[in-house]
A and B are shown apart, each in its own frame.
Chain A
Amino acid sequence: MATGFSEYLSDVQSNLNLDVREEREVIRELLAHLEDRSHELVANGLSETEATKNCLDMLGSARKLAREIYQSHSRANWRQTLLAASPHFIFGAVFALNWWQHVLGMFSLLLLVLAAVVCGWYRFKPKWLYSWSSYSLLPVIGVSLLLLWLPQGLAWIAWPVYISFTIWLINYLANRSRSRDWLYVSLMLLPVPTIIAWMLVVQPGSAAPDYAFSKFGSFAPWVGLTFMAFAVGAAFFMRARRRWLKGSVLVVSGLLSLTMVIIYARGGLGLTAIIGLNVLMLALFLAPALIDRRAKQS
């Protein structure tokens, strides 16, 4: 392969943001095209250098080509869109209709989610997998709930360990998902700040479990509504073609859900908590991008 082609194709590949298999296929097709065109030009009397330059001029800017090819691939079909929105919709319905109190049902639902995630993760990592993966993080968030009941002395040790583990887990997931656009990892992490916000509103550590349980019951329909907002956000995300639009959908639906929590909590969240949750949301949105960038640079 001519050096000019190699540099150009590597520039295209680094801007494609598709999954690895799709990227390889696109590059293979473009290389075949460049070779065909180059052979024809050389046969017509051009030098190798002139032919290479002419070929690359005909394809135009590598970044523009990569962006347009990305947009051709980025819109999920309706089946994938429905599958991506469905976990948020299911959890939304569970809370909105107050079915969350059926322990067996909730346990079965979590098992279903875990089965879907494991199945998807080890097979093709389909686009819809990432919104299902959000709910496989529920046990991690659940542990933080248990930590609230720890005696004061133990909490000082447990919380740093827990936070370190959570950061490691996010880093691990982002690295494992590097074959896919980092925006999908952000989609996966999107509900985390809202779930934490609801937990802070209920404040289970400050009261008896029965009280927290009944307090949560009064908020459950609103919790359901925030999950429904995620369902709509996930559907828009899957159908959007442009990257900036996908990113904007994530930020807007994250902020919208947090705003809904703040409104429904009616003063249940302090200013520090509100600022902290917004910072956490932005950090979770941007962390996969930074991890991806660092990995590409290295």
Chain B
Amino acid sequence: MTGKKEWPQGSIEPLLLTMVFDRAMYGYQIIHELETRSDGYFKIKEGTLYPVLHRLEGEGYIVGEWKSLDNGRQRKYYHITRKGRAYLAVKRAEWRQLLAAVTMLTRIPLLDME
């Protein structure tokens, strides 16, 4: 994953789960959607995407299913499972805690550091 700034390790899995939370998507679509929905902040390297998707599938967090597009081409669509939703809920709670902690810290004037 490349971004404008550092991002906590292990965040790629929950991000991908978030992408397939509402509707099934295939790999290439996920890359585009993630970039679009984060206003260009998150850009996943294409070589990183598939190993992570397959790992999530192996863990039972997502399920892949081949479907035909309107043009007749076939794509492997991934959708989240119940186990994936439960895992994502835990990760989201962690993110909220992290965000709350960062917000609290950035509100305090860091006088002694200046």
CB-based contact B45/A72 at 8 Å: no
A32 touches B73 (CB 8 A): yes
Inter-chain contact B50/A69, CB cutoff 8 Å = yes
Query: What interface size band does chain A fall in?
Result: 20 to 34
Is the pair B54, A69 in contact by a Cβ cutoff of 8 Å?
A: yes
Contact indicator B54/A73 (Cβ below 8 Å): yes
- CB of A59 closer than 8 Å to a CB of B: yes
**Which residue on chain A has the smallest CB distance to residue B27?**
A33
Do A60 and B51 contact each other (CB < 8 Å), given the known contacts A32-B75, A73-B58? no
Residue B26 interfacial (CB < 8 Å): yes
B residues less than 8 Å from A25 (CB atoms): 76
> Residues of A contacting B50 with CB < 8 Å?
26, 29-30, 33, 65, 69
- From B26, B48, B50, B76, residue with most partner A Cβ within 10 Å: B50
Are the CB atoms of A36 and B28 closer together than 8 Å?
yes
Q: A29-B76, A32-B76, A72-B54 are in contact. Are A60 and B47 (CB under 8 A)?
A: yes
A64 at the interface (CB under 8 A from B): yes
Question: Beta-carbon contacts of A20-35 to B below 8 Å, as 1s and 0s?
Answer: 0000011011101101
Fill in one digit per residue for A129-155: 1 if any B CB lies within 8 Å of its CB, else 0. 000000000000000000000000000
Contact with B47, one of A32, A36, A65 (Cβ below 8 angstroms): A65
The A-contacting residues of B in range 35-92, CB under 8 angstroms, are 45-48, 50-52, 54-55, 57-58, 60, 73-76
Give me the interface of B with A, judged by CB distance under 8 Å: 26-28, 45-48, 50-52, 54-55, 57-58, 60, 73-76
Pick 18 A–B contacts, CB within 8 A, sort by A.
A25-B76, A28-B76, A29-B27, A32-B27, A32-B74, A32-B75, A35-B73, A59-B46, A59-B47, A68-B51, A69-B51, A71-B51, A71-B55, A72-B51, A72-B57, A72-B58, A73-B54, A77-B58
Among all A-B residue pairs, the 4 with the closest Cβ atoms:
A60-B47, A68-B51, A72-B54, A72-B55
Q: Which A residues form the contact surface with B (CB < 8 A)?
A: 25-26, 28-30, 32-33, 35-37, 58-61, 64-65, 68-69, 71-73, 75, 77
